[in-house]
């Protein structure tokens, strides 16, 4: 099989996989899509919206680890574990869940990359094992994929494209996770817009 045919098939199946996303909910300009994943009972999610902010402002908010307690849905605690560089860090998060479900926690490895031509910023933030010892009464999430794409539209607006796939671990029925998961991005993006509109991150980026 020629190299050209192999490349064509890879691109074909990539596009085919992307077509599985189905709109699950839309509210105030925020769209949340879901799709089934072959090796998991938990659906993958994708959220999109346009916010009035610059790429730098959104990035400053994402790197402000403690601020996640204000705007990321169900986040009880978020704290820096280790800062490798201005664009790479590790942080710990505890997610608050309703009784009798045990809270989840995880450690994220966040890395920031920018395309020099398009200026699109990609923030890769998977969960990683180790670094923080397991905590009593909490279920540790060791496997998740979180990717942000911050796409500049003009001087005042960016498009956010967020994808999430997670194994919540423990005895948590998949239907419970899938029933409530789509509301999480709506709540988070709405709160995120509020944080960005405060002007705090304009000051951060101008300093």
Return the SS3 of 158.
strand
Query: What pLDDT is recorded for position 16?
Result: 43
Q: Where are the beta strands (DSSP E) in the chain?
A: 22-27, 30-37, 40-52, 75-85, 88-95, 103-114, 121-124, 138-140, 144-152, 157-166
- Domain housing 27: 21-206
Q: Specify if 6 maps to a domain.
A: no
Q: Specify if 12 maps to a domain.
A: no
- CA–CA separation, 74 and 68 (whole Å): 10
Q: Specify if 9 maps to a domain.
A: no
Q: Specify if 13 maps to a domain.
A: no
Strands 138-140 and 103-114: parallel
Query: What pLDDT is recorded for position 11?
Result: 41
Cβ-in-10-Å burial (0-12, 13-18, 19+) of 53 comes to: buried
Q: Specify if 46 maps to a domain.
A: yes
As for how many domains the chain has, the answer is 1
Per-residue model confidence as pLDDT tens for the chain (207 residues): 444 443 334 443 444 444 589 998 899 999 999 988 776 677 889 999 999 999 999 999 999 999 999 999 989 999 999 999 999 999 999 998 877 788 999 999 999 999 999 999 999 999 999 889 999 999 999 888 999 999 999 989 999 999 998 877 666 655 556 556 678 899 999 999 999 999 999 866 554
Q: Which residue(s) pair with 22 in the sheet?
A: 34
Expressed in percent and rounded to 5, the helix, strand and coil fractions of the chain are 30, 40, 30
Q: Specify if 173 maps to a domain.
A: yes
Please report where in the chains the tokens 């899509």 appear, as a residue. Answer: 33
Strands 138-140 and 121-124: unpaired
We report the CATH number of the domain holding residue 161 as: 3.30.530.20
Query: What pLDDT is recorded for position 147?
Result: 97
């Amino acid at each position: 099989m020629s190299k050209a045919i192999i490349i064509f098939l890879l691109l074909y199946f990539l596009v085919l996989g992307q077509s599985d996303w189905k709109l699950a909910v839309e509210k105030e300009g925020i769209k949340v899509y879901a799709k089934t994943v072959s090796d998991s009972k938990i659906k993958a999610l994708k959220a999109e919206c346009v916010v009035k902010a610059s790429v730098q402002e959104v990035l400053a908010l994402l790197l402000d680890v403690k601020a996640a307690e204000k705007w990321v849905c169900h986040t009880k605690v978020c704290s820096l574990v280790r800062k490798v560089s201005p664009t790479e860090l590790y942080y710990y998060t505890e997610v608050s869940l309703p009784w009798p479900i045990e809270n989840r926690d995880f450690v994220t490895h966040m890395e920031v990359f920018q395309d020099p031509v398009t200026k699109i910023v990609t923030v890769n933030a998977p969960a990683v094992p180790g670094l923080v010892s397991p905590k009593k009464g909490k279920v540790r999430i060791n496997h998740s994929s979180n990717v942000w794409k911050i796409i500049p539209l003009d001087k005042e607006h960016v498009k956010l494209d967020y994808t999430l796939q997670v194994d919540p671990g423990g005895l948590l029925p998949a239907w419970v996770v899938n029933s409530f998961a789509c509301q999480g991005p709506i709540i988070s993006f709405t709160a995120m817009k509020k944080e960005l509109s405060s002007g705090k991150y304009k000051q951060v980026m101008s300093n």
